[in-house]
Amino acid sequence: MTLIIAKIIVFLFLANFDTTQGAVLDIKAFGGAPNSNIRQAFTSAWTQACASTTPAKIVIPAGTYQLTGIDVKGPCKAPIEIQVDGTIKSPPNPADIKAVTQWVKFGYLDRLTISGKGVFDGLGATAWKQNDCHKNKNCKMLMMNFGFNFVNNSIVRDITSKDSKNFHVNVLACNNFTFEGFKVIAPDESPNTDGIHIGKSTDVKVLNSNIGTGDDCVSIGDGCKKITIQGVNCGPGHGISVGSLGKYDTEEPVEGLLVKNCTFTKTDNGVRIKTWPNTPGSITVTDMKFEDLTMNNVRNPIIIDQEYCPWNHCSKESPSKIKISKVSIKNVKGTSKSKEGVILICSRGVPCEEVDMTNVDLTFNGAPAIAKCANVKPVIKGKAPACVASA
């Protein structure tokens, strides 16, 4: 009798433990075999996971898989983790992807985790040749690798995004969202392949990540607050950018950015704020902190450009209406590829205010780099280049 009671207790304990842990859903159980299209298998696993009242994990084990695109939504009843240890490949031709703007898309979720050593390969090389957005305003946007829309209290950890056709990641209207140990891989000639673009989101963190791509490593759009980028290695790429801003009159302010302990290697820019001239936008950009940064042969290590006008697609007749204030640039060292290691070109309509430079030690060909400034009077502390007026 005692033995029977003991077995019952063990059974109840294990049953309770299983309930607490939730289900583990291997896509192989849903027909997701290596070298096959796992779209339906993943969708079926997601439906089951989303309906679970206890935490669930979807597992994509080691192997190579095809995926023609997914677009899954919540709300779900409990946290979901997606553990990816395989390589997932996109169709090379964008027309073969069964999605609209993002190849792998998540929306309206809380407590999502994506983890593992897996690779999402966008196979963008063929598609990049179709991209003429640098000269055609009406170009057709290519597919992004990931889209996270209205996703809160979530984390993406350790996985790799490779050769996206467009942006690697787009984060829209998310709160308390973290990327850690995230990797982005694409050649410097891949167009419009921002590593992580963040828009209209609060408390997004990019931590201890390696991002090398053909455009901004991280770009921050309008409506962002409390963004932290720390321990990121950027290169190749165009650096870490706020903007471009001001092109539209519906934009929202940007407030609270910390870029800290980051290294930039052979990038076009280091840290940058860019706004359009002669456009309707009139928001504010404030509380920007750039600290403890290393520049390795960077073309423009520190730049505020309020005359941003790529490919001469705009007019500079009227100044930017974006007001930039409370910018702190502190403990920046390394080498600049240009003599002007610091460029602060602010708007003549709304000059920058409360800009501080502390211990900025940049060299160009072994000599101290200079700072070119317009419509700003930065406060210099410690070793930092004095401003030379812009012509």
The residues assigned a catalytic role are: 238
40's tokens = 């339906």
273: β partners? 242, 304
Do residues 326 and 286 make contact, with C-beta atoms less than 8 angstroms apart? yes
Number of H helices, E strands in the chain: 3, 33
3-state secondary structure of 13: helix
Q: Six-digit token pair at 307?
A: 């005359």
Q: What is the maximal distance between C-alpha atoms in the chain?
A: 94
Which residue is associated with the tokens 């004095």?
Answer: 386
- Return the H-helix or E-strand segment holding 180: strand 175-180
CA–CA distance, 278 with 321 (Å, rounded to integer): 8
- Residue count of the chain, please give it: 391
Phi, psi of 385 (to 5 degrees): -70, 135
CB count in 10 Å sphere of residue 129: 9
Q: What is the C-alpha separation between 160 and 155, in angstroms, rounded? A: 14
Rounded Cα distance, 330 and 339, in Å? 20
Residue type, 73: K
DSSP code for 7: H
